Chains A and B, each alone.
Chain A
Amino acid sequence: MASDTLTYWDACRRGELLVQRCTACARRVHLPAPECPRCGGADLVYEPVSGHGAVHTFTVVHRSFVPEFRGREPYVLAWIDLPEGVRAFGQVVGCPPERVRIGMPVRVTFADDLPQWRPA
């Protein structure tokens, strides 16, 4: 029942984005979860994804509520639709914040051991 997020974070450190797959219903599951939110299956395995995606929605943070991020604004937070059928989170980097649009194609990139997204 315990959520195995170590595998996820370890892969991030290697520069690899892993997304769970439910062995019972074959659906992909993300963010990492201890059980499949759809069928309840408890056997979830991590598998790599293509790293492609599109911006589902975003916000440009001009005033951060995370102390260690103050002074680093503006930065872009976004939910990214992956073709594997799940949604991932991250910053959109590598372009000015004002260029980010809903629907914009992006690719995963890694910074600070975290998956981030840059224009494709």
Chain B
Amino acid sequence: MRDRAAVAGIGMTALTRSSGRTELELAVEASRAACADAGVEPGEVDAVLSYHLNDSAPVVQVAAALRIEPLGWHNDITGGGTQAASILGDAAMLVASGLARTVLVYRALNGRSGTRMNTVSTGPQERFTRPYGMAGPIPMFALAAQRYLHETGLTEEHLHAVVAQSRENAAANPRALRRDPLSLEDYLARPYVCSPLRTVDCCQETDGACALVVRDARLAPGAPRIHAVVRGGGPGCSSMDRSPDVTQIFSGHLAPLLWERSGMKPGDVDVALLYDAYSWLVPRQLEDFGLAARAELGEFLLRRRHAAVNPHGGLLSEGYVHGLNNVAQAVRELRGDRETALVTGFGGSYGSAAILTRGR
């Protein structure tokens, strides 16, 4: 499927903490904006995909509201951040197989005012952990983060560098929910949710929607290409009861496969849209994707050599449309002066990653 599909349009609603609108309304607004951006009528869309956790408007409702009739291939894919990059692969496969020419992809949620992620089920091991007062993703990924800091020697100063850079990057982004500078002193004064993660180490729960129009690249020759997409995972922080390395996340499993499938190397990436639901995921992915070596991670962060990561502020500062807003930013970057973008989707030690390249 390499380079056979392109992201021809992107659309987003405003990101807020209280949209006052249904997920359907949010999805329709973002989808119309993405179609307009791509220069297609909604009626030209012949496939619709979304991912969600029963917290959104299903694809048939969105397709009906957009008067996509008759509707072709459509699917509600279960999952959150894990799907953020691989939904590009799902769309590209439909295009490459000839099943669709124009695929609408969206994620819509009232992640702050409606169904919040902070108590979402983390799996069947919960019956052994919930009785101790553990629920939702934050304590789970805090446990992994604590061990990661222990093994790498990184400290709260380094986590601050991640969050502060994210705020600086968001400063010029009018969509971003958090744009104010964050000094080390301010950072250290923020309360812990679950140590070592403070409130500001966790992404912004957000109401909003983001949509993409993926087309046969022959129909959109100038649009950023979907060059390679990988999805998978294995032992790691999703199975801490039996994984030798509880700090392992999806990127450790997927990076070698991504370089193999893309025919590229880390040095080819000139902008990285890393799934930053938690601050520590940035160094973890920099290391896994070969963008920084473990031994130099601390200096790398303190010298802000990660300044090009998430130039819009990412999920930590722009907002949390479950990673699809990071994909939209990859497209903006490739419409500008960037050649090659890495975009990732985190679901613990399972997830996805994609390489997008500039249109021709």
Listed in ascending order, the chain A residues whose CB lies under 8 Å from chain B are 5, 30-32, 37, 56-66, 69, 72, 75, 77-79, 86-87, 89-91, 102, 112, 114, 116
Q: Does B36 belong to the interface (CB within 8 Å)?
A: no
- B194–A59 CB distance below 8 A: yes
Which of A5, A60, A65 has the largest number of chain B CB atoms within 10 A? A65
Top 8 A-B pairs ranked by shortest CB distance? Answer: A69-B133, A57-B147, A59-B142, A60-B195, A65-B135, A62-B192, A65-B136, A59-B194
- B134–A57 CB distance below 8 A: no
Cβ-defined partner of B195 (8 Å) among A59, A66, A114: A59
| Closest beta carbon of chain B to A65's beta carbon, Å | 4
Cβ-defined partner of B241 (8 Å) among A31, A65, A72: A31
Cβ-defined partner of B143 (8 Å) among A31, A75, A79, A116: A79
- A91–B132 CB distance below 8 A: yes
Complex CA distance for A87 and B125, rounded to whole angstroms: 13
Q: Does B176 belong to the interface (CB within 8 Å)?
A: no
Instruction: Decide: A65 near B143, CB < 8 A? Known: A72-B133, A77-B132, A91-B132.
Output: no
- B195–A62 CB distance below 8 A: yes
Known: A59-B139, A78-B143. 20 other contacts (CB 8 A): A31-B128, A57-B143, A57-B147, A58-B143, A59-B146, A61-B139, A63-B193, A65-B119, A65-B135, A65-B136, A66-B134, A69-B133, A77-B133, A77-B143, A77-B194, A89-B128, A90-B132, A91-B133, A114-B131, A114-B132
| Closest beta carbon of chain B to A49's beta carbon, Å | 15
Complex CA distance for A114 and B197, rounded to whole angstroms: 26
Which residue of B has the minimal Cβ distance to A64? B133
Instruction: Decide: A57 near B132, CB < 8 A? Known: A79-B246, A87-B240.
Output: no
Complex CA distance for A114 and B139, rounded to whole angstroms: 19
- B132–A79 CB distance below 8 A: no
Chain B residue total in the interface (Cβ 8 A): 33
Q: Does B183 belong to the interface (CB within 8 Å)?
A: no
Complex CA distance for A31 and B191, rounded to whole angstroms: 32
Which B residues lie within 8 Å of A31 (CB)?
A: 125, 128, 241
CB 8 Å contact bits of B252-277 with A (1 = contact, 0 = none): 00000000000000000000000000
CB 8 Å contact bits of B119-145 with A (1 = contact, 0 = none): 100000101111111111011001111
Complex CA distance for A75 and B132, rounded to whole angstroms: 9
| Closest beta carbon of chain A to B120's beta carbon, Å | 10
Complex CA distance for A31 and B240, rounded to whole angstroms: 10
- B118–A89 CB distance below 8 A: no
Complex CA distance for A112 and B133, rounded to whole angstroms: 12
Complex CA distance for A115 and B196, rounded to whole angstroms: 24
**Sample (7) of A-B pairs whose CB atoms are under 8 Å apart:** A62-B195, A69-B133, A79-B246, A87-B242, A89-B129, A91-B132, A112-B131
Which of A31, A37, A57, A79 has the largest number of chain B CB atoms within 10 A? A57
Which B residues lie within 8 Å of A114 (CB)?
A: 131-132
Which residue of B has the minimal Cβ distance to A68? B133
Instruction: Decide: A63 near B194, CB < 8 A? Known: A57-B143, A79-B246.
Output: yes
Which B residues lie within 8 Å of A60 (CB)?
A: 192, 194-195
